[in-house]
Structure 1
Amino acid sequence: MEKYDLLPEQLVYEGTLSRENFFAPELIEEKWFLNTHDPNYFRRLSALDLTPQEVRAIGFPLTASLVHREMVIASGSVQAAEFALSYGIGMNIAGGTHHAFSNRGEGFCLLNDIAITANFLLENRLASRVLVVDLDVHQGNGTAEIFKERRDVFTFSMHGEKNFPHRKEKSHLDIGLPDGTGDLEYLTRLQQTLPRILEMFDPDFLIYQSGTDVLASDQLGRLNLSQSGIKERDETVVSLAKNNQIPLMCCMGGGYSKQIKDIVEGHAQIFRLAQSLYF
């Protein structure tokens, strides 16, 4: 959790952003959580009434403050998406809770901010075709489950094939990478794939989960990307959205490097990129 405090401090310290660039989201209405998540699950979660097995799957002790935090994160992603409609891009300093299923939490995720945001956009007719590009090292299994029958959302996940979750869901497109995959192979696969998805699906909104756990320094990732590889990965996604005039919401996803500076740097550079391309 430390990175959520350090990342904005770093961006302000280096002059990439000012404190006025940050916003504290207001909670969205409950109906937007229920539009994505099973009402029984959401109400039991809110009442702290999950079973011990359900809490173990989440990985955190279940508290009211944790549930509130997840609701704030999802609200932040929705508001960042609204900013993106006005300015081309919006950023959530947190988010990317892609292991939350429609009816359960998993892997430190209780509510799926990516899915909640996509459904908010579609329900309000702010978008008609939402592309989810999930480049966290772990498959976006919850997002895949939520949208498995949908044709107005396209889920693309490129992840470590042998990493968590061990039982994968089926995204609209999955690319599983072997352990040790480095910059060249990773970027080649991504740069070959994304233009094809755009041509086939023709999205009018893009949600990008930009986890830094693909770094070689990550303790859980098992891939081998460098900081420059992360930067080129993000530039590939962000530039493609900008060049095709597709509004883009970015959420941060995971990062578990031993040195916190590696995590902060991995996340900070996408904010620098957004600032240089859009503002």
Structure 2
Amino acid sequence: MICMKKIFFKSSPLNVGRVFGACRCFHAETVRRERSGLPIVHHGGYVCDLPPGHRFPMGKFPRVLRCLINDQVITDKQVWVPEIASKDLLSCVHTDEYLTNFIHGRVNEQDQKRTGFSWSEGLVSRCRYETGGTVLAAQVALQRGLACSTAGGTHHAFPGYGSGFCLINDLAVAAKYLMGNSSPKRKVLIVDLDVHQGDGTAFIFKEEPSVFTFSVHCGKNFPLRKQQSDLDVSVEDGLEDEEYLSIVEAHLPWLLETFRPDLVLYDAGVDPHQEDELGRLRLTDRGLYKRDLYVMKTMVSRGVPVAAVIGGGYSRDIDKLALRHSIVHRAATQVWREFGM
């Protein structure tokens, strides 16, 4: 099922020089000078302690970076280290009341149950570093054309509450910051290929013409109550590689040509995988790789900067899951080399 919200109007052609020349003030602790490789954004603070047996696979984040380095896909010189996201930065999306309560631990039991996390200082720090990482990846993408974080994609967070393992909406914060920090206002396309609809992101930008939200998700999966993205494609359980990719191919070029974004934020969730514990679709490793390669080649070939985050993925085998999440970085590395970036 396909649901379309926004109507396009004619816009001026993309000014690649303006886009790539913008935003020179990076939210980074250390700016690497390595110019030959794909920028990878990572911070050790992407993780925090959780109770034993918790459903959320927190350990995957450092292992994504580790497997990329161990497999010689990247070197440590390609790693950019983000700053922690300030409360002021987060307030471009989230309410002051929510941020104050979240940061200072005034979160009631019902709200903790809705997010799936018990509050801790480490959880707050983790979410803020993750958001800082997505913002930095977007900034670097504007300069270099392509960048990837080893976390991000917390698309279920709403302005005033968290939900579904998401407490701060990193995609929305990055879009708002990069959109508002330019003149004229940048146009941002959010391509969300996580198996779950990005309901928080859709809600946040429902009245914002400069942000277009595109979601391909399993219709019978979480969240039960969907929001309306600018373009929703709801798919049935059991969808496999070729049909899934044909759906993406049918919509993405048209969106780029019609909306003409200055930046794309790509949520490359691996939970459509056939072995994912929460997914309900049947994509393979190869299918995910072809999906990610297609999305990023389509952007880069048109001169549109793209920042990718890893999105959702759930498995008790953390090493196998981390390897699966690294697919987007491997695909991005191929794009980087193919286009001589």
TM-score range, shorter-chain basis? over 0.9
Q: 2:301 — aligned with what?
A: 243
Aligned 8 A contact 2:86 2:128 in 1: no
Aligned 8 A contact 1:218 1:258 in 2: no
The counterpart of 1:31, out of the listed 88, 93, 105, is: 88
Q: Percent identity?
A: 38
Describe how 1:48-127 pairs up with structure 2 within 5 A: 48-125=105-182
Q: 2:220 — aligned with what?
A: 162
Distance across 1 between alignment mates of 2:226 and 2:210: 22
Is 1:200 the equivalent of 2:261?
Answer: no
Q: Which amino acid aligns with 1:162?
A: K
C-alpha displacement of 1:195? 1.0
Aligned 8 A contact 2:273 2:279 in 1: yes
Aligned 8 A contact 1:90 1:249 in 2: yes
Is 1:149 the equivalent of 2:207?
Answer: yes
Secondary structure (helix, strand or coil) at the match of 1:276 reads helix
The counterpart of 1:184, out of the listed 222, 242, 250, is: 242
Q: 2:283 — aligned with what?
A: 225
C-alpha displacement of 1:258? 4.2
Q: Which amino acid aligns with 2:262?
A: D
Q: CA RMSD in A?
A: 1.2
CA-to-aligned-CA distance 1:156-208 (integer Å, 9 cap, x gap):
11011000001001111111110001111101111001111112211110000
Structure 2 residue runs of 5 or longer lacking an equivalent are 1-57
Q: 1:5 — aligned with what?
A: 62
TM-score, with length taken from structure 2? 0.80
Distance across 1 between alignment mates of 2:225 and 2:282: 23
Aligned 8 A contact 1:213 1:257 in 2: no
C-alpha displacement of 1:261? 4.0
Aligned 8 A contact 2:310 2:328 in 1: no
The counterpart of 1:15, out of the listed 72, 89, 92, is: 72
Moved more, 20-29 or 89-98: 20-29
C-alpha displacement of 1:259? 3.3
Distance across 2 between alignment mates of 1:258 and 1:187: 27
Larger radius of gyration: 2
Q: Which amino acid aligns with 2:314?
A: Y
Moved more, 19-28 or 117-126: 19-28
Q: How many residue pairs end up in the alignment?
A: 279
Structure 1 residue runs of 5 or longer lacking an equivalent are none
Distance across 1 between alignment mates of 2:158 and 2:76: 34
Q: 2:190 — aligned with what?
A: 132
